[in-house]
């Protein structure tokens, strides 16, 4: 009897803990003024690069949001990392990191709960039903290609099989432009799929995603514009699942390249662009 009461007591504590955690979750815009106010004191010329959720992101809210700002002094940048919890913010910084040119995020953007609703409607809820043990991450990303708009990236990933994921890229500046979504992953593994790399164009690296419905021999190869092989990224048997492969351009020249997936009898080729 004592053991049963002890278990019930633990259950009540756990339930209370999760209730408290959920109560402390908030959308990205809830604390945006705190982060902006603090960075204005630290360095008013710093610009916002990314905002990332804690892994508890659910329903468009997170128990923490992590803001990354940068200030470019002409050759190097200073990064500022601000971490917000419910109605509080702290920061740390790291100096002399080499600068990478990007387009900075600027307001207005759709809040994280609106981005969540869009991702759920496009297949996120189906993924959660198929994978009960799932983590969800969200980030508001800088525009990789100049003069393009920032995007919400929401990723659902199975904890039981990390190769199973669903990733949604959403226009972050206009909630009416739902057609701007690109879904890179799906919950089902019913077909061979080679996805468009991201980012594209890229410099110096990009991620190539592919999906296998069955165990098979896989070859993923990169070719230049005239058909010369420049890299073999995968050449081995793989079980069914979804895979991410990072491709680094190394010493390649700027230009158009192609990547080809051969998996069993399946063959598909896609184009991507490297810009120095």
Q: What is the CATH number of the domain that holds 248?
A: 2.60.40.1930
- Is there a single domain that holds both residue 140 and residue 208? no
Tokens (6 digits) for 25? 């979750």
Domains held by the chain: number: 2
Q: Which of 9-18, 48-57, 183-192, 216-225 has the lowest mean pLDDT?
A: 9-18
pLDDT at 101: 45
Both 32 and 147 in one domain: the answer is: yes
Express each pLDDT in 162-182 by its tens digit.
677 788 878 787 655 543 444
**3-state SS assignment for residue 153:** strand
Strands 134-141 and 182-183, by their bridges, are unpaired
Q: Output the CA torsion sign for 131, 133, 137, 138.
A: positive
Predicted TM-score (pTM) of the model is: 0.56
When mean pLDDT is compared across 2-6, 24-28, 173-177, 186-190, the lowest value belongs to 2-6
pLDDT of 23:
53
pLDDT number for residue 110: 86
**Helix (H/G/I), strand (E/B), else coil: 274:** strand
Residues 226, 138 share a domain: no
Least confident of 37-46, 88-97, 229-238, 262-271: 88-97
Residue-number span of the structural domain to which 202 is assigned: 189-276
Average pLDDT on 213-242 reads 88
Alpha-carbon gap, residue 235 to 232, rounded angstroms: 7
Residue after which a domain boundary falls, among 161, 188, 215:
188
Beta strands in the chain (DSSP E): 47-53, 65-72, 76-85, 88-98, 134-141, 151-158, 165-171, 182-183, 193-194, 205-212, 216-223, 229-238, 241-248, 255-263, 266-274
Q: Is 158 in the same domain as 47?
A: yes
% of the chain exceeding 90 in pLDDT: 11
Same domain, 195 and 167: no
Is the per-residue pLDDT at 89 higher than 60? yes
* Same domain as 158, residue 213: no
pLDDT at residue 155 in the model: 85
Task: Answer for the pair 84, 31: CB distance below 8 angstroms, yes or no.
Answer: yes
Tell me if residue 16 falls in helix, strand or coil: helix
Listed residues 173, 188, 203: the one ending a domain: 188
10 to 15, 16, 24, 56: CA distances (angstroms): 9, 10, 21, 22
Name the region of 96 (left: φ>0; alpha: ψ -120 to 50; beta: rest).
left
Per-residue exposure over 91-104, b if at least 16 CB sit within 10 Å of its own CB, e if not: eeeeeeeeeeebbe
How much is the average pLDDT of 35-49?
A: 84
Same domain, 88 and 204: no
pLDDT digits (tens, 9 = 90+) for 91-133: 765 544 444 444 555 667 788 998 888 888 877 887 888 778 8
Lowest mean pLDDT among 22-31, 193-202, 220-229: 22-31
pLDDT recorded at residue 221: 94
pLDDT value for 183: 47
């Amino acid at each position: 009897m004592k053991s049963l009461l002890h278990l019930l007591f633990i259950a009540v504590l756990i339930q209370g803990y999760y209730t408290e955690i959920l109560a402390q979750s908030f959308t990205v815009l809830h604390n945006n003024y705190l982060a902006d106010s603090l960075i204005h004191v630290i360095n008013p010329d710093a610009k916002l690069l990314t905002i990332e959720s804690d892994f508890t992101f659910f329903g468009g809210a997170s128990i923490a949001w992590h803001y990354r700002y940068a200030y470019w002094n002409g050759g190097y940048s200073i990064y500022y990392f601000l971490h917000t919890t419910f109605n509080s913010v702290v920061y740390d910084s790291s100096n002399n990191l080499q600068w990478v040119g990007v387009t900075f995020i600027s307001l207005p953007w759709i809040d994280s709960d609106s981005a969540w609703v869009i991702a759920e409607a496009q297949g996120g809820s189906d993924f959660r039903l198929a994978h009960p043990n799932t983590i969800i991450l969200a980030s508001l990303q800088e525009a990789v290609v100049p003069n393009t708009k920032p995007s919400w990236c929401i990723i659902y990933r199975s904890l039981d099989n990390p190769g199973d994921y669903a990733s949604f890229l959403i226009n972050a500046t206009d909630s009416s432009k739902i057609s701007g979504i690109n879904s890179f992953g799906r919950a089902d593994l019913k077909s061979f799929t080679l996805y468009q790399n991201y980012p594209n164009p890229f410099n110096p690296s990009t991620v190539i995603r592919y999906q296998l419905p069955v165990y098979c021999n896989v070859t993923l190869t990169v070719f230049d514009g005239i058909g010369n092989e420049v890299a073999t990224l995968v050449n081995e048997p793989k079980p069914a699942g979804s895979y991410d492969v990072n491709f680094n351009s190394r010493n390649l020249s700027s230009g158009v390249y192609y990547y080809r997936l051969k998996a069993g009898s399946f063959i598909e080729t896609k184009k991507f662009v490297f810009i120095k």
